[in-house]
A and B are shown apart, each in its own frame.
Chain A
Amino acid sequence: DAGVIQSPRHEVTEMGQEVTLRCKPISGHNSLFWYRQTMMRGLELLIYFNNNVPIDDSGMPEDRFSAKMPNASFSTLKIQPSEPRDSAVYFCASRSGGAHEQYFGPGTRLTVT
């Protein structure tokens, strides 16, 4: 299994631009999580989906952030418009059924200038 796949691995963009991060979970996993990691705040849950349905989006910072999961094998996290304070590493993780263990993707390092 290829594990959780994220793209791009690195993204540099200018303030005000739209950014789209992509994630492909492990095949057969029915829960998907988006996390953000910064030096100041560490790892934080942004949103998670169960069976493609958003369950908890309380961690989404503001309306500039949106996430979708159109099918079981793909999710996007979009930031529009981006701001320098959005610079962070964004991780996607997936989990199977009732299991607790999550498998993390390699992350996308986002830099907004």
Chain B
Amino acid sequence: KNEVEQSPQNLTAQEGEFITINCSYSVGISALHWLQQHPGGGIVSLFMLSSGKKKHGRLIATINIQEKHSSLHITASHPRDSAVYICAVTSGKLIFGQGTELSVKP
């Protein structure tokens, strides 16, 4: 079993839909990260959080330390949000989930 599990693995949505991507982990962590990887391959850090909730534009990330679970929400999704979203945890080193491939159709 992977130490960081994401769901779903693939997600197709219509423009404007509210999107949720989930991440569960089984190790002790000092921080959790959400990364975005565009089709061109570049990786961008979206959020780093260790508790509660963070919001940046249409993106919201939450974490529940007790349940070892985090969610990434995208409101009013847009085709430019199409990317792979990767959850990673800092547990000594960075451990990555397998990623969620999101496709937003116009």
Q: A101's contact among B41, B43, B48, B97, by CB below 8 Å, is which?
A: B48
Residues of A within 8 A of B57 (CB): none
Instruction: Please report the total number of B residues contacting A with Cβ < 8 Å.
Output: 22
CA distance A72 to B41 in the complex (A): 26
Residues of A within 8 A of B106 (CB): none
B contact patch SS: strand
CA distance A43 to B88 in the complex (A): 10
Choose the segment among A20-28, A60-68, A74-82, A102-110 that binds chain B (4+ C-beta atoms closer than 8 Å). A102-110
Residues of B within 8 A of A100 (CB): 30-31, 33, 48, 50, 90
Q: Which residue of A lies closest to B31 (CB)?
A: A100
B-contacting residues, A27-57, CB 8 Å? 33, 42-45, 48, 56
B7 at the interface (CB under 8 A from A): no
A contact patch SS: strand
Residues of B within 8 A of A42 (CB): 86, 96-99
Q: B94's contact among A45, A103, A106, A109, by CB below 8 Å, is which?
A: A45
> In the complex, are the beta carbons of A107 and B41 less than 8 A apart?
yes
Which residues of B come within 8 Å of A, CB atoms?
30-31, 33, 35, 41-45, 48, 50, 86, 88, 90, 92-99
Can you name 22 A-B pairs with beta carbons within 8 Å? A42-B97, A43-B86, A43-B88, A44-B96, A45-B94, A56-B92, A89-B41, A91-B43, A100-B30, A100-B33, A100-B48, A100-B50, A100-B90, A102-B45, A104-B42, A104-B44, A104-B45, A106-B41, A106-B42, A107-B42, A107-B43, A109-B41
Which residues of A come within 8 Å of B, CB atoms?
33, 42-45, 48, 56, 59, 89, 91, 100-104, 106-107, 109
